[in-house]
Amino acid sequence: MQLAYTILYVTDVRRSVDFYERAFGLSPRFVHEGGDYGEMETGNTALAFSSRALMRQMGKQPQAARADAPCFEVAFTTADVPQALERAVSAGAALVQPAKQMPWGQTVAYVADLDGFLVEICTPVGGAL
- pLDDT tens-digit profile of 102-121? 999 999 999 999 999 999 99
**pLDDT at 20 > cutoff 80:** yes
Confidence band for 127, pLDDT divided at 50, 70 and 90: low
Facing residues of 120 across strands? 75, 110
Question: Is 11 strand, coil or helix?
Answer: coil
- pLDDT tens-digit profile of 32-58? 999 999 999 998 899 999 999 999 999
Single-letter code of the amino acid located at 111: V
Domains of the chain, first to last: 5-57 (3.10.180.10), 73-122 (3.30.720.110)
**pLDDT at 66 > cutoff 70:** yes
pTM of the shown model:
0.92
